[in-house]
Structure 1
Amino acid sequence: MHDLLGPAEIRELAAALGVRPTKQRGQNFVIDANTVRRIVRTAGVRPDDVVVEVGPGLGSLTLALLEAADRVVAVEIDDVLASALPATIAARMPQRAERFALVHSDAMQVTELPGPAPTALVANLPYNVAVPVLLTMLERFPSIERTLVMVQAEVADRLAARPGNKVYGVPSVKACWYADVKRAGSIGRNVFWPAPNVDSGLVSLVRRSEPIKTSASKAEVFAVVDAAFAQRRKTLRAALAGWAGSAPAAEAALVAAGVSPQARGESLTVEEFARIAENKGAAA
């Protein structure tokens, strides 16, 4: 069993670096070793996995991932945290240090990662950018088969929501384009420093073995999704009028896709959105 970071070590490390967690970057450091081990276990990390971690912070989860995976690549935007992390790994897990790589960058800007292609994404995502970072990583790194992210509880609910659920929306549909998504647990506030004002949730995403069958591109399907939820209270005939060019054109696309023009976005599956995208211009 390796030496993971506990509350005292996290605070000592932060003090030595002059680090004060910032709201601007959504930083809340996990200070409980049992929690990071639970995350690794829930993620199903395997000995041959190449795990990418976004926002490693002071390294609590990074160390737990290194215990279980073949390699860990951590993406960190913060200058001070990025410069300190390799030394923390070397000091606490020297025998695994060569299996760790750091990318000092904004995750939204990363287009390639060092070493073998990642097979898993495991991260305590900064709450303010969780959804865009998650969707960007799934898009750019198709080799990622399994994902487990810790996010704000309501974001977790939204990501895992099914059609008809009141929180089902753009994140739910877009995540479902890539993966089978489900809630994978809850995390209390007391395992963080500083303790956030919200509860956290774990979301598991297992990439679809077969992409959704559609002749429409992802961009075309996502354009329909964005339009459908931009005005949630409207029927799809009205909500998609701008996207289709007019309400009658939207109605024609919906009818051709086998979707009621009176339906609302929150009742549709990702496959139905794809069919609507395929039938744009059906009235022509």
Structure 2
Amino acid sequence: MPPQARLLGPADVRRLADELGLRPTKRLGQNFVHDPNTVRRIVAAAAVSGDDVVLEVGPGLGSLTLALLPCCRSVVAVEVDRVLAGRLPRTVAEYAPGTADRLRVVPADAMRVRAGDLTAGGPAPTALVANLPYNVAVPVVLHLLEEVPTLARGLVMVQSEVADRMAAGPGSRVYGVPSAKLAWYAEARRAGPVPRAVFWPVPNVDSALVALTRRPPPSAAPRAEVFAVVDAAFAQRRKTLRAALAGWAGSAERAGRLLAAAGVDPATRGEQLGIADFARIAEAAVRV
């Protein structure tokens, strides 16, 4: 039987916040989940197993951490707030003492953390499960998927509109740079809504879960070069690709040649292309 954890309810969250003198800040995107059923649902949807090393970003007061620890091998929690990072091990010891040895806290910015920081003294993370700060959700996911190739899957909670963009496919109204770049690393799909009422303080936006499944890159082209094509294509999304890629290619004429070599209609727009199409354009730039 896995060790049991007592989860944080609204009174627990407020007590811990008061103890720490915590005033949640928009700058750090701090909205803390205080509903045990919600964190149980997240852990179930993440389908973590006893073999998984879970990477959690922004554990905050520990609501999700406490639900994860009994279900996995260990949790590596990355927390930029030094006060919260210092309190988390004690919270786990109080609420889930049988799992305290499964937690490792890394006091760091998830946008700058390196694989070595996450693997020091333990195995590499295999799953990302996190309630991500709304203002940096996509950059954090992209950074971690690039930096930690052992991450095979993930489940992240983000702003609902961001979830739509992360999971969008070519041709969708909300398909754009986040959609295309994320597709380089993983398949993304919406995995359900999260109501505002489960957070403290209550955010003024809706939230949703996004499930990620790692897949191989669609091309051997350097990622940075492919992403440069994506950025150029969507910088002026109303323009045809021939015009939008002119600056990147050096001229509209060369952009047309590269698109033709990649088998892409120069009159189409970036929102119609999948990540494999962008990769073929990057590959063509080497040949043409």
- The aligned counterpart of 1:246 is 251
Q: Write the distance in 2 (CA, Å) between the matches of 1:3 and 1:151.
A: 25
Q: Write the distance in 1 (CA, Å) between the matches of 2:64 and 2:137.
A: 17
- The aligned counterpart of 1:185 is 192
Q: 2:165 aligns with which of 158, 164, 172?
A: 158
**Superposed counterparts of 1:4-153, under 5 Å:** 4-111=7-114, 112=116, 113=118, 114=120, 115-153=122-160
Which TM-score applies when normalising by structure 1? Answer: 0.97
How far apart are 1:282 and its partner, in Å? 5.3
What secondary structure does 2:157 align onto? strand
Q: Write the distance in 1 (CA, Å) between the matches of 2:187 and 2:87.
A: 36
Residue-by-residue CA offset, 1:191-226 (whole Å, 9 max, x unaligned): 000010000010011001x331x2420011000000
Q: Write the distance in 1 (CA, Å) between the matches of 2:101 and 2:71.
A: 14
Unaligned residue ranges in structure 2 (runs of 5+): none
Asked if the contact 1:244/1:281 (under 8 Å) is kept, the reply is no
Unaligned residue ranges in structure 1 (runs of 5+): none
Number of corresponding residues: 281
The answer to whether 1:227 aligns with 2:214 is no
Which TM-score applies when normalising by structure 2? Answer: 0.96
- The aligned counterpart of 1:271 is 276
The answer to whether 1:199 aligns with 2:206 is yes
Asked if the contact 1:252/1:282 (under 8 Å) is kept, the reply is no
Residue-by-residue CA offset, 1:83-125 (whole Å, 9 max, x unaligned): 1111101111111101100000101121121310101000000
Q: 1:211 aligns with which of 213, 217, 234?
A: 217
Q: Write the distance in 2 (CA, Å) between the matches of 1:103 and 1:281.
A: 41
Runs of 4+ in structure 1 off by over 2 angstroms are: none
Q: Pairwise CA RMSD of aligned residues?
A: 0.9
Residue-by-residue CA offset, 1:43-65 (whole Å, 9 max, x unaligned): 11111110000000000000001
Asked if the contact 1:249/1:281 (under 8 Å) is kept, the reply is no
How far apart are 1:80 and its partner, in Å? 1.1
